[in-house]
Structure formats: structure tokens, C-alpha cells
Structure 1
Amino acid sequence: MNIVVLEELKAYIEPLTPDEHDALERSLLAEGCRDALVLWGDILVDGHNRYGICTKHGLPFQTVQNPRFQSMEDVHLWMIDQHLGRRSLSDFQRGVLALRKREIVAERRSRAKAEADQTTAPVPEAPTGDAPWEGEAPAAALAAVLEPKPLQSREDIARAARLSASQVGMIEKIQKQAAPEVVAAVRAGDISLNAAAVVATLPEEEQRAAAAAGKDELKQAAKRVRESRRKPRDESAEASSDAAPEAAPASDEVSALRQRVAQLEAENAELRQQVQMLSAQLV
């Protein structure tokens, strides 16, 4: 059997860690390769790690063709959907895949619409009687081409990746602004999505320096950025208070109650966000 391994597809999804690869190798040696490798013609689409291990040890394996593949875009979308359903991926990895899916679907829909606009002729009046249409109505033809459904909003992406909308926003910021070293740190789990998104707002040189110093320094850099954002707001509030000395102060009791209400609202908002993130991870 001639199986072609394309490096493009092999590297399309996050590789296994050394520990994960070792665990898979032990499993295959003990139980054999139970799941068939997925092919598109001669091209290996799914099962690169299993194929490599089976070839190394001379283990038998089965293959199956996926007849739905018509293009490399179909292959990419299928691979993304397969991996989005796996629990072994981190939040960051799932978010990146969902964002990648959005780009592929948006691009192919835009391309299909442009082609349809160029080739679509005016729709003739419906024929009388039961005679069928000679050609498919343009709207129906376009609808068939435009599947799958696009991920238009951040909420759509969040549902596809089993994340919160705020987490998707952090991942977008990391992809756009973070230095490669910071991206590598969040991929490795050295810092959280939140911390990486905060560090990504720093100049690239500062990001690289923090990453080179290790994960503790990255966390400290995120902490410094948060504190620097908090300080101007505190100073602004103090300046406003000094600018209006003649204003009649509220009673101590009312002021204390207002502060307590604000504190409780902030705590509730934080708890809701934590519950949302935990629920997304447990799905």
C-alpha cells in the first residue's frame, strides 16, 4: 500500500507531547492499532502518529477512504472538526482551531459567492404544469456551495471551541499581538490565556525579554501591566475628589453601603466568569 504523508497535513494540528506520544506507543504495542487511518486517495489525513509507530514496529493497521473530500479545504475542515471534539487539546489550541475554521469557511463562501455572481443568469419564470426545472435555481445552488455554516460572531467561535467569548477574545489578541515566545509559553501551559493576553499588549522587545526570563517573569510582567492600568484610574478618582471639595459628602453609613454594593457586584461578576470558564472546560 502506497501511503503519502504530506508535511503540511502532519503539522496542521498541534503535535503530541513526548509523554503523549510515549503513551500512544505503549497502547499500540499492547492492544494493536484498532482505529483505521483515514486516507484521501493515497494521502494520509488522520493517524500520522499511529502510522509512524506502526511502521516503526511492523504493526498491522487498517485504512479507510473518506469519499466526502473534494479539496484540501475539505480535508482541513474535517481535521479541525475532528480535533475540536477531543478533550486532550488545551483551551488555546481549541480556540486557534476554531478561528482557523472561521477563516477557511469565510474565504470559501466569499469565493463561491463571487463565482455565483459571475455565472448566475436571471431566473426564468416557473414552467407551467408539473415540468421540472431544467437547471437548479441559483439560490439553491449557492446555498449548497456555501455550507458549512460560517462562524460569524465571537459567540459562534466560542461554542465551536467550547470556550467563553472572553477567552476567544484573548486568543485573538494573542494571535495578533503576542511575540512568538509568548505564544510558545501559552501553548506549553506556562502562563494562562489571561496573562498572555495582558503581556501581548507590551512592546515586542519587552515580551521577548520576559519570555526569555521564564514563566515566573511572564506572570510578573502581566501583574505589572494590570497594576499600571489600575493606578491611573485610582489617581483620576482622587483628582476628581480634590476638584470638588465643596460637594456635600454622603453620610458614612451610605458611603459604606455603596462601597459594599460595588464590591459585591464585582465579586459576582468574577464568580460568573469563573463558572462560565469551568462549564466550558467540563463540556
Structure 2
Amino acid sequence: MNITINDELRTYVDPLTPAEHEALERSLLTEGCREALILWRDVLIDGHNRYAICSQHGIPFRTVQNDSFDSIEDVKLWMIDNQLARRSVTDFQRGLMALRKKEILAARVVQKSDDELQTEADQAVPFSPPWNTRQEVARAARVSANTISQIERIQKAAAPELVDAVRSGAISISSAANVASLPREAQVAAVAGGKKELQQAARQVREQKSAAKPKKDVDTGTPEEQVKALKAQVAELKDRVATLINENEVLKQKLVLLGEA
């Protein structure tokens, strides 16, 4: 059987953590490969980790064909939807996948001509590209629109070391978005300093932004403006609470270690 590994597809989703890889390997060695690997033509599109482990240990496996795709972009969309449906995927991973889906769909719209987008019957109806708003992307990723905005900031400005810290859970999405506004060298230094240093860097950025931002009186303006201002304050407070909770957990762990010493 000829199975082709497409490196772009193999790395399209986040790799397993060492603990996850060990658990999968243990399961395959004990129970065998019960779930079939999925191929598109001869290209493996689902089951890369299982294939590698089975090949290493000589574990038999089955394959099934999925020929419903016309292009590699179709395969990517299918992989994204699979990831978005999984419970074990983190908010950050789901956000990244949803943004990738938006990029693919947007690129397809650009490639189409106006004649392809509209028929004579609906010429008067403005065409709205799929996933045209941040809210739609957030809904697919099951996170808030604000979280999607933060992930976009991380995508654009975060150093690879900071991205890895978000993936590992060493720093929250909201805090990482703040740290990403720092120069690349400062980001790397904060990551090297560990969780406490990352939290401190995020807090300093928030304080600088807060000091530079003129305070708005929520008692003035239209009711809509007051609601918007209050929601912004609530979001800021939630961000601060999340950071304080993380710092509290770090202190608790230190107390436990001191008690065991």
C-alpha cells in the first residue's frame, strides 16, 4: 500500500504533547489501531500520529478512502472542521483553526468573478462572503469575538516562543495578546523568565494602556454608549481577574513546595 505524507497537511494541526503521544502509543500497543486511517487518493489526511506509531512498531492498521474533495483546500477545510468538533482542542487552537477557515473561504471568494457570485435573479441583493465577521468566526470556535481579536494580535505580532507559551498553557490568550505588543526581544525574555515573568509583563502592558487611555464617564452619552463603556470595563476586569487567579495558583504551588521541603 502506497501512503503519501504531505508535510503541509501533517503539520496543519498542532502536534501532540509528549504526554498525549505517550498515551496514544500505549493505547495502540495495547489495543491495536481500531480506527481506520483516512486517505484522499494516496495522501494521508487523518491519522498521522497513529500511522507513525503503527509503522514504528509494526502494528496493523486499516485505511479508508474519502474522495469527496476536489482540492487540497477542501481537505484543509475538512481537517479544520474535524478539529473544531473535538472537545480536547483548546480555545487557542480552535481560534487559530477558525481563522484559517476564514482565510480559505475569503480566498475562494476573491477568485470568483461577479458573474459567478450572483445570478440574474439576485443581482439586486448584495453578496455577503461567508464568515465575513469576527462574530461568525468566534461562534465556530466557541469563543468570544474579543478572544478572536486577541488571537489575531498574537498571530501578527507574537514571537514563536510566546506562541509556544500560549499553546502550553503557560500564559492566557488575553495576557499573551498584551505581551505581543512588546518588542520581540522583550517577549522572548519574558518567556524565558517563566510564568511569573510573563504575567508581570502582561500586567505592565495593561497598566500602560490604562494610563494612556482617557477615562470615560459612563454616566454621560447615549444609553448605547454607556452600555458599550460598561462592557469594556467588564472585559478589562475579567482580564485582570484571570491574571490574579493564575498568580494565586502559582503562589499556592510555592506554598505546597515550601511545606514539603
Aligned to 1:241: none
Aligned to 1:71: 71
Question: Is the partner of 2:38 in helix, strand or coil?
Answer: strand
**Deviation at residue 114 of structure 1 after TM alignment:** 6.1
Question: Is the partner of 2:135 in helix, strand or coil?
Answer: helix
Aligned to 2:211: 231
Aligned to 1:97: 97
Look at both structures and tell me which one has the larger radius of gyration over its CA atoms.
1
Aligned to 2:39: 39
Question: Is the partner of 1:217 in helix, strand or coil?
Answer: helix
Q: TM-score, normalised by structure 2?
A: 0.76
Q: After TM superposition, what 4+ stretches of structure 1 lie above 6 angstroms from structure 2?
A: 137-140, 265-268, 271-274
Task: Give the AA of the match of 1:207.
Answer: Q
Aligned to 1:203: 183
Supply the distance in 2 between the matched residues of 1:206 and 1:273 (Cα, whole angstroms): 25
Q: TM-score, normalised by structure 1?
A: 0.70
Aligned to 1:158: 138
Task: Give the AA of the match of 1:95.
Answer: G
2:157 to 177, 191, 197: 177
1:13 maps onto 2:13 in alignment: yes
Question: Is the partner of 2:113 in helix, strand or coil?
Answer: helix
- Identity between Structure 1 and Structure 2 (%): 54
Aligned to 2:53: 53
Supply the distance in 2 between the matched residues of 1:101 and 1:211 (Cα, whole angstroms): 29
Which stretch shifts more, 107-116 or 167-176?
Answer: 107-116
What are structure 1's unaligned runs of at least 5 residues? 121-136, 141-145, 238-264, 278-283
Over 3 Å counting, the alpha-carbon distance change for 1:69 and 1:221 in structure 2 is same
Over 3 Å counting, the alpha-carbon distance change for 1:199 and 1:268 in structure 2 is closer
1:16-35 Cα distance to aligned partner (Å, 9 max, x none):
01110111111112222111
- Ranked by relative contact order (alpha carbons within 8 Å, sequence separation 6 or more), the top structure is 1
Give the RMSD, CA atoms, in angstroms.
Answer: 3.0
Supply the distance in 2 between the matched residues of 1:21 and 1:139 (Cα, whole angstroms): 54
Over 3 Å counting, the alpha-carbon distance change for 1:228 and 1:48 in structure 2 is same
1:192 to 162, 172, 178: 172
Supply the distance in 2 between the matched residues of 1:207 and 1:271 (Cα, whole angstroms): 22
Task: Give the AA of the match of 1:193.
Answer: I
Aligned to 1:280: none
1:16-71 Cα distance to aligned partner (Å, 9 max, x none):
01110111111112222111111011111100011111112222211111121111
1:58-112 Cα distance to aligned partner (Å, 9 max, x none):
2221111112111101111111111111122111111001000000011012213
Over 3 Å counting, the alpha-carbon distance change for 1:31 and 1:77 in structure 2 is same
Supply the distance in 2 between the matched residues of 1:169 and 1:16 (Cα, whole angstroms): 26
